[in-house]
Chain A
Amino acid sequence: MAVLVVAEHDNKSIRKATLNAVTAAHKLGADLHVLVAGDQARPAAEAAAQIAGVTKVLLADAPHLGAFLAENVAALVAGLSKSYSHILAPATSNGKNVMPRVAALLDVQQISDICAVESADTFVRPIYAGNALATVKSADPVKVITVRTTAFDAAPASGGSAPVEPVSPPADAGLSAFVSREFSKSERPELTAAKVIVSGGRGMASGENFTKVLEPLADKLGAAMGASRAAVDAGFVPNDWQVGQTGKIVAPDLYIAVGISGAIQHLAGMKDSRVIVAINKDEEAPIFQVADYGIVGDLFQIVPAVVEELKK
């Protein structure tokens, strides 16, 4: 049976998280379909058709799918489920919102945030903020899965030429309506896709210091900027910067933690980074137990010095 990936997209293009989910889906079957549900989403469907290894793209195009409301999208996905052995989505906020609803409609137990595929029914997923890895086996007829994107490489976005087939969605459930959206504007790379991340914590002491001290470093490295929960709760930066168990999970090549103590909840979001650098004045801070390179000292002196060194 075929495998279905529910695409994350903005109606015009496919988001990278989808490519990671496609790689996970490849381990489960050769016949791989991608569902693009949206409003005037043909461009996104055409982009999905280019993904290497995709054999068919299903396009559900309707005004009531535009905001990706869980009630409408879940009904659509559940309706398509008969032809599939596995239904996957990236563990983004959309995937986490919609997929458990799909699973309940199908009376199956969803498997969240998988980080490895052992076989068609056995998967590995982190529990307890990533402090343990559980291997779980599902006895359900359809496996409904969300994929931890940082655990799978992105499938090539080109090289494929799948046909795009329209599907008609169920009518608007009328239970919910989209009101508004407020996106944090940023010129920087997206946090979950960035190769380098510069992250600040409570030690930054103010939002201003993020701009004054941390931003020059991020600029120099072409890095995305992140934050610990303490920095977000203190109002220094918007909450979509948060890296951790309850924020974003990242795994860049280089993660620079500045003024972050390294609480369990933060480590859960970044400890799979390739190289971790910690700058902290507290020698005992837990962040030094996971950092490849650490500097003990005042971040307000060290960070500008690092920027100077990078200019050389």
Chain B
Amino acid sequence: MKILVSVKRVVDFNVKVRVKADGTGVETANVKMSMNPFDEIAVEEAMRLKEAGVAKEIVVVSCGPQACQETLRTALAIGADRAILVETDTELQPLAVAKLLRKIVEKEQPGVVILGKQAIDDDANQTGQMLAALLNWPQATFASKLKLSSDKAEVTREVDGGLETLSIRLPAVVTTDLRLNEPRYVTLPNIMKAKKKTLETLKPEALGVDVAPRLTTVKVVEPAKRKAGIKVPDAKALIEKLRNEAKVL
């Protein structure tokens, strides 16, 4: 079985982002970028399926500017076999990405597509579900356990209140939760090897997909800051404050 994994280049999760002074967005110039953490988990899961002999080939895809090549090289260094970049400088929203991925899926015919459940920049949590809808495939979102057989997958999902297990027909779309696995570190020899792997570049126009954004960002602002609080010396003082000042007890 072939597995397709979609990865996104985002501002590193450790970076404290700054809103641009003109309110058009968040400062991304000269900021450390990395692979979206949920997508690392997706690549790792694909690797484990390959190591278990369930998957034969792992193809990674990223959509966005040329710099996404780095993210794809990282995925190749983790162990993916080849990469596809759908290159565009247009701002891509989840529906556009889902449409691009659908074209890639139609070309590559994978048995399973694995995506992160959300990107930590737009926090949308949509692309996997949208891709599944466009393909009319079943979806298993927020997966914390994935068992694949030849024509079915059993997926445990994280839902409000606990866990839920679904059985879905293949081909299918799966999105990863943080607890699905612990991604491995990339080693230097593998980084060197990754440089020799194939990275194909396509354009949205060549795939016949209109990627124009549907949502216009009117402005981006910083959220209201909380006022700096006070430190109290002990439990007695704390309870006194909560009772008489904050009046929450």
A→B interface (CB under 8 Å): 67, 69-71, 74, 92-94, 96-105, 107-113, 122, 125-140, 173-184, 192, 196, 221, 229, 232-233, 238-240, 245-246, 248, 253-254, 264-265, 271, 274-277, 288-296, 302, 305-306, 308-310, 312
Contact = CB atoms under 8 A, between A and B. Distances in A.
Contacts of B157: 93
Contacts of A175: 136-138, 168-169, 172
Given A93-B160, A100-B126, A133-B220, 5 more contacts: A127-B26, A127-B220, A132-B220, A192-B160, A246-B178
Interface in B124-161: 124-134, 136-142, 144, 154, 157-161
B120 A239 contact: no
Interface in B150-196: 154, 157-169, 172, 177-179
Given A71-B138, A93-B160, A129-B120, A291 B26 contact: no
Interface string B215-249: 11111111100111111111110110110001011
A71 B129 CA distance: 10
10 contacts: A93-B158, A127-B123, A128-B11, A129-B120, A182-B162, A245-B123, A254-B248, A271-B223, A276-B229, A306-B239
B129 A97 contact: yes
* Residue of A67, A126, A264 most packed against chain B (CB within 10 A): A264
B124 A108 contact: no
Contact of B167 (A96, A176, A240, A295): A176
A176 B138 contact: yes
Contact of A233 (B141, B164, B179): B179
Contacts, number: 259
A104 B98 contact: yes
Nearest to B19: A132
A113 B124 CA distance: 8
B223 A131 contact: yes
B207 interface: no
A176 B220 contact: no
* Residue of B130, B161, B228 most packed against chain A (CB within 10 A): B161
A136 B104 CA distance: 29
Contacts of B163: 181-182
B232 A94 contact: no
A137 B215 contact: yes
Contacts of B226: 271, 276, 289-290, 292
B214 A310 contact: no
Contact of B223 (A102, A104, A126, A309): A126
A293 B222 contact: no
Nearest to B122: A127
A232 B144 CA distance: 13
A139 B216 contact: yes
B94 interface: yes
B110 to A, nearest CB: 16
A271 B226 CA distance: 8
